[in-house]
Amino acid sequence: MARCLTIAVCQTGPIQRSATRAETVGRLVHLLEKAAACGAEIAVFPEMALTTFFPRWRIDDQAEIDAFFEASMPGPETRRLYDAAARLKVGFALGYCELAQEEGRTRHFNTMDLVGPDGAFIGRYRKMHVPGSAEPEAGTTRHLERRYFEPGNLGFPVFDYRGVRVGLAICNDRRWPETYRMLCLNGAEVALLGYNTPLLLDEAPALAHLRMFHNHLPMQAGAYQNTLWIGAAAKAGLEDGQALIGGSCIIAPTGEIAALAMSLDDEVIMHRADLDLIDTCRKVNFNFALYRRPDQYRRISEPV
Ligand code: CDT
Of 184, 248, 186, 173, residue with least CA distance to 218: 173
55 has pLDDT over 80? yes
Residue nearest to atom 10 of ligand 1 (CA): 172
Q: Give the H/E segment covering residue 238.
A: strand 237-239
From 127, 145, 249, 267, the catalytic residue:
127
pLDDT > 70 fraction of the chain, expressed in percent and rounded: 100
Contact status, residue 91 vs residue 161, Cβ threshold 8 Å: yes
265 has pLDDT over 80? yes
Q: Which atom of ligand 1 is nearest to the CA of 174?
A: 11
Taking the C-alpha atoms of residue 253 and residue 122, their distance in angstroms, rounded to an integer, is: 24
Residue 84, classed as helix, strand or coil, is: helix
In this prediction, residue 281 has a pLDDT band, given cuts at 50, 70 and 90, of: very high
Pairing of the two strands 91-102 and 42-44: parallel
Pocket of ligand 1 contains residue 171 by CB under 6 Å? yes
Task: Give the residue-averaged pLDDT of 33-45.
Answer: 98
Tens of pLDDT, residues 239-263? 999 999 999 999 999 999 999 999 9
Tens of pLDDT, residues 208-222? 999 999 999 999 999
Q: Which atom of ligand 1 is nearest to the CA of 197?
A: 12
Taking the C-alpha atoms of residue 205 and residue 203, their distance in angstroms, rounded to an integer, is: 6
In this prediction, residue 149 has a pLDDT band, given cuts at 50, 70 and 90, of: very high
From 41, 47, 98, 239, the catalytic residue:
47
| Sign of the dihedral defined by the CA atoms of residues 165, 156, 94, 49, in that order | negative
Domains in the chain, start-ordered, CATH in brackets? 4-301 (3.60.110.10)
Q: Please tell me the distance between residue 131's alpha carbon and the centre of ligand 1 in angstroms.
A: 6
Active site residue 189: no
Contact status, residue 127 vs residue 110, Cβ threshold 8 Å: yes
Active site residue 235: no
pLDDT of residue 304: 77
176 has pLDDT over 90? yes
Q: Which atom of ligand 1 is nearest to the CA of 170?
A: 3
Pocket of ligand 1 contains residue 55 by CB under 6 Å? no
What mean pLDDT, rounded, does the chain reach? 97
Active site residue 184: no
Mutate to test the pocket of ligand 1, among 68, 196, 215 (most ligand atoms within 8 A of CB): 196
pLDDT of residue 183: 98
pLDDT of residue 35: 98
Q: Please tell me the distance between residue 86's alpha carbon and the centre of ligand 1 in angstroms.
A: 32
pLDDT of residue 1: 84
pLDDT of residue 133: 97
Q: Which atom of ligand 1 is nearest to the CA of 143?
A: 9
Residue nearest to atom 3 of ligand 1 (CA): 172
